[in-house]
């Protein structure tokens, strides 16, 4: 019972990955607030039944859980979510940001509304929860209270690969990494950790459309993209075992966990004089002649 007595908040906790995270944390003893507005794949509509059902699953396991139906990307709803956890169980210890939806389109076909909506639910949804949780932990530390804090953000490899049909989603997921890395540095002195997971898993966002065949559950054998494969990493990051793990990005799926390298500077070019177009071409031209433009998310050597 690594999380016995701890209080966890999960946004988008009613289905898919969120539901699996909620059950995983509850199995380890956490009390869980399941936040979910019950929206469809594109963010439309509301349905409270799924969040209530997850709470019933947790109670059936002998755990404690309550639902919250606020909008994770709304400032006041997000504050109310953190307040609810504290008012119910006296503390907030683990915040897993998972809420999101898709509205895919090629860049030159994407509407302003679809860009704004996806940036809002993913990036602002992370910001709101992290902002209110970190403020709570800071105030608790200032008042002399013990602080146990874990922030777990959900990004995507789309932040690396930047699919041309997801300019909103990939941009939001890249922003989540930077937001979480900043939180990790800020909150280190309070003993709070912040990490990012990039799951490859079957969710409502990929169970239809062009990727559905890839993520489809097999009729038998190991289910490579089962969301349950991801949740043990969330449980580990939330636990005391990962007290010194902060500011990292994890790609997780199937039976694999890959720790990503932080972005870093690469090849440096220097000039004895102020750069000119000609001197830039003299130094940079030969370097890029060896490379092709970006393809499928990578800069690859020329053939």
Instruction: Profile the chain (303 residues) by mean pLDDT over runs of 10 residues.
Output: 96 96 98 93 84 98 97 98 98 97 95 98 98 98 97 96 94 98 98 97 72 78 91 98 98 96 91 97 95 64 47
Q: Which of 6, 79, 124, 173 is catalytic?
A: 173
Do 277 and 252 share a structural domain? no
Task: Provide CB contacts within 8 A for 115, sequence distance 6+.
Answer: 167, 168
Q: Is residue 2 part of a domain?
A: no
Q: Is 1 within a domain?
A: no
What is the per-residue pLDDT across 24-58, written as a single tens digit (0 to 9) for each?
Answer: 999 999 999 999 998 877 778 888 999 999 999 99
Distance (Å, whole) CA 205 – CA 203: 5
CA atoms within 13 A on the CB side of 162: 9
Model's pTM, two decimal places?
0.92
Range of the domain at 251: 7-259
Beta strands in the chain (DSSP E): 7-11, 31-35, 65-68, 94-96, 149-154, 192-199, 249-253, 256-259
Pair 197, 283 in one domain: no
Placement of tokens 């009729």 in the chain: 219
Active site residue 148: no
Active-site residue, from 78, 153, 155, 156: 156
Residues 112, 247 within the same domain: yes
Residue 254 lies in a domain: yes
Angle between helices 16-27 and 49-60 (to 10 degrees): 20
> How many Å apart are CA 267 and CA 19, to the nearest integer?
43
Q: Specify whether the backbone of 127 is left (phi greater than 0), alpha (psi in -120 to 50) or beta.
A: alpha
CATH number for 103: 3.40.50.720
| Together in a domain, 297 and 229 | no
Q: Is 190 a catalytic residue?
A: no
Q: Which residue among the candidates 6, 124, 158, 169 is catalytic per the annotation?
A: 169
Same domain, 246 and 288: no
- Is residue 219 in a domain? yes
Q: Does the residue 144 lie in any domain?
A: yes
Is 125 inside a domain boundary? yes
**Residue for token pair 């993913």:** 122
Number of domains observed in the structure of the chain:
2
The verdict on 128 and 277 lying in the same domain is no
Are 144 and 277 contained in the same domain? no
Q: What is the pLDDT of residues 264-284, one digit of tens each?
A: 899 999 999 999 999 999 999
Interatomic CA distance for residues 6 and 25, integer angstroms? 9
d(C-alpha 128, C-alpha 135), whole Å: 11
């Amino acid at each position: 019972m690594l999380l016995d007595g701890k209080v966890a908040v999960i946004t988008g906790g009613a289905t898919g990955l969120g539901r699996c995270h909620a059950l995983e944390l509850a199995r380890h003893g956490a009390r869980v607030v399941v936040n979910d507005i019950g929206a469809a794949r594109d963010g439309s509509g509301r349905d409270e039944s799924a969040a209530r059902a997850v709470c019933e699953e947790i109670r059936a396991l002998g755990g404690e859980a309550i639902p919250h139906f606020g909008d994770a990307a709304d400032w006041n709803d997000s504050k109310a979510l953190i307040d609810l956890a504290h008012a119910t169980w006296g503390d907030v210890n683990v915040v897993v940001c998972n809420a999101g939806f898709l509205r895919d389109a090629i860049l030159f076909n994407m509407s302003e509304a679809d860009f704004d909506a996806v940036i809002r639910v993913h990036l602002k949804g992370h910001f709101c929860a992290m902002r209110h949780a970190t403020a709570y932990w800071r105030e608790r530390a200032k008042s002399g209270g013990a602080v146990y804090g874990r922030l777990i953000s959900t990004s995507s490899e789309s932040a690396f690969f930047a699919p041309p049909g997801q300019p909103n989603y990939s941009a939001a997921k890249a922003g989540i990494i930077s937001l979480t890395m900043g939180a990790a540095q800020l909150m280190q002195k309070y003993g709070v950790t912040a990490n990012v997971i990039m799951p490859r898993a079957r969710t409502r966002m990929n169970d239809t459309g062009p990727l559905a065949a890839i993520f489809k559950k097999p009729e038998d054998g190991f289910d490579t993209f089962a969301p349950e494969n991801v949740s043990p990493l969330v449980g580990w990051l939330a636990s005391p075992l990962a007290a010194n793990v902060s500011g990292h990005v994890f790609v997780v799926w199937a039976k694999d966990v890959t720790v990503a390298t932080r972005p870093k500077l690469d090849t440096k070019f220097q000039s004895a004089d102020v750069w000119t177009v000609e001197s830039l071409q003299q130094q940079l031209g030969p370097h890029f002649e060896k490379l092709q433009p970006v393809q499928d998310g990578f800069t690859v050597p020329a053939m």
